Amino acid sequence: MTTTYQELHRPQFHFTAKTNWINDPNGLVYLDGVWHLYFQHNPESTVWGNMTWGHAVSDDLIHWRQLEHAMFPDEHGTMFSGSAVVDHEDTAGFGAGAIVFLYTAAGRHVDPPRQFTQCLAWSADNGMTLTKYEGNPVLGWIEGDNRDPKISWHAASRQWIMPLFLADDRFTLYGSKDLKSWTHRQDLRLEGDRECPDFFPLVDESGEERWVFWGANGLYRIGRFDGTTFTPETPVLTCENGRNGYAAQTWSNVPDGRCIQISWMAGGLFPEMPFNHQMSIPVTLELAGSGEAARLRRWPVREVESLRERKVRIEQVTIAPGSPVAPKTDAKLMDVSFTVRRGDGRALNVNIRGQALTFAWDEKEMRFAGGQAPGMVKGRAFAPLPEGESLDVRLLIDRTSVEVFLNGGDVSASYCFLPGAYERPLVLQSWQGNSTLERLELFELSSIWQ
């Protein structure tokens, strides 16, 4: 299991396994200076299967070090997605400060087959060794392929809360005082979404606590939670507007109160590589507005700025059709910010290593070419463009992905690509009229694997 991380299509500031397949981030927890990233992994192949928990750690959320695999399939099933919390008050009896993991044992994939159940593991050595609980499963089969427990602490009712995916767009919430015995609280739906629920508190702009119920497609609702019932106040909203962001999960026990999330970039192409798929860059989630008008804003963690190296600037310039503008760089890794005024142009194309990110002003849509693995269509074909004559754009560009953040994170979208033919790695073109670039600032980024 070795690599120099220098292969042609190896992402340079996004996590990939040294070899083989990854999907969902799992067991995200911070403890004593260590950010843990466990993940769905097939240790034997570049396609999905043999689900095992892989493990990587970081001290800054950016530079990752892959460790030995954390959990292998057992008689209960293969190791599907799950989460982790720090049990500061020893509610579960594994010791104060133990990390407790809840995960799905996918019984259909073992011989003889069983139902899907929810199981527990714990660690007293900061996540280095995981011990499976002898009383597993802690929650028996409910229906279908019920799965993906994501634990959080509800302070007011002093209990652990666990959302689970049931089937279609249906989910369920359970509560527990000790992480081992679970009581049903509520069934709920998240129309248009499925799998990998997350359920977490945030403070809104008026200083009130609200809870966010989130599904694998990046759809969510915000509302009140009293320990028993989640009462949504917003309609179903979209946070992940791209084609390739899926199964995001938030970290627990974050030291500075930030809500930090990472997602699986599903459906990328990595031809002839020894690995398959990558994680997103970690982002912070914040609530803007309140009540029915509350919504999430998503923004790259500030730690990514530690990778910034050479800076290239372009001051105000009008981009006329047929006269593209290209910052003077040959970089493949970039953190780019610009403000663009639409002018009378119909569209602005930002060509990223030959693949067009299109801001179609009339259609109020953002689209991205770039290529997607067959059978892996998860997200949306286009993202809505925010209203207004000018648009703030931030792009994080790695070898095979671009993450887009508009107007400070009001709209965000994750895309994977393979480079096409290109001369300059970033070229801006205006179509059928002018667009005005107010200001562009580009940082070439260093690799985390150096």
> 350 near 225, Cβ under 8 Å?
no
Compute how many residues bind ligand FRU; rule: CB under 6 A: 13
For the CA atoms of 270, 273, 278, 281, the dihedral, rounded to the nearest 10 degrees, stands at -90
> Which of residues 23 and 115 has its CB atom nearest to ligand FRU in the complex?
23
> Which of residues 52 and 358 has its CB atom nearest to ligand FRU in the complex?
52
> Which of residues 48 and 449 has its CB atom nearest to ligand FRU in the complex?
48
169 binds ligand FRU (CB under 6 A): no
For residue 263, give the amino acid letter. Answer: S
17 binds ligand FRU (CB under 6 A): no
Specify whether 24 is catalytic. Answer: yes
Number of H helices, E strands in the chain: 0, 35
193 binds ligand FRU (CB under 6 A): no
CB of 246 to ligand FRU, least distance (A): 6
Among 7, 169, 195, 438, binds ligand FRU (CB under 6 A): 195
Among 16, 20, 81, 152, binds ligand FRU (CB under 6 A): 81
Burial class of residue 37, CB neighbours in 10 A (0-12, 13-18, 19+): buried
Question: What is the distance between the alpha carbons of residues 15 and 64, in angstroms, rounded to a whole number?
Answer: 7
24 binds ligand FRU (CB under 6 A): yes
Question: What is the distance between the alpha carbons of residues 194 and 172, in angstroms, rounded to a whole number?
Answer: 12
25: cis peptide before it, omega within 30°? no
Token pair recorded at residue 434: 């002018």
40 binds ligand FRU (CB under 6 A): yes
247 binds ligand FRU (CB under 6 A): yes
Instruction: Given the residues 24, 148, 335, 392, select the one marked as catalytic.
Output: 24
Pairing mode of beta strands 435-445, 308-314: antiparallel
39 binds ligand FRU (CB under 6 A): no
Q: Which residues contact 94 (CB under 8 A, 6 or more apart)?
A: 87, 100, 122, 124
For residue 385, give the amino acid letter. Answer: L
Token pair recorded at residue 94: 């594994």
Among 87, 148, 198, 204, binds ligand FRU (CB under 6 A): 148
Among 56, 196, 239, 347, binds ligand FRU (CB under 6 A): 196
147 binds ligand FRU (CB under 6 A): yes
CB of 300 to ligand FRU, least distance (A): 23
Q: Which residues bind ligand FRU (CB under 6 A)?
A: 23-24, 40, 51, 80-81, 104, 147-148, 195-196, 216, 247
Catalytic positions, please? 24
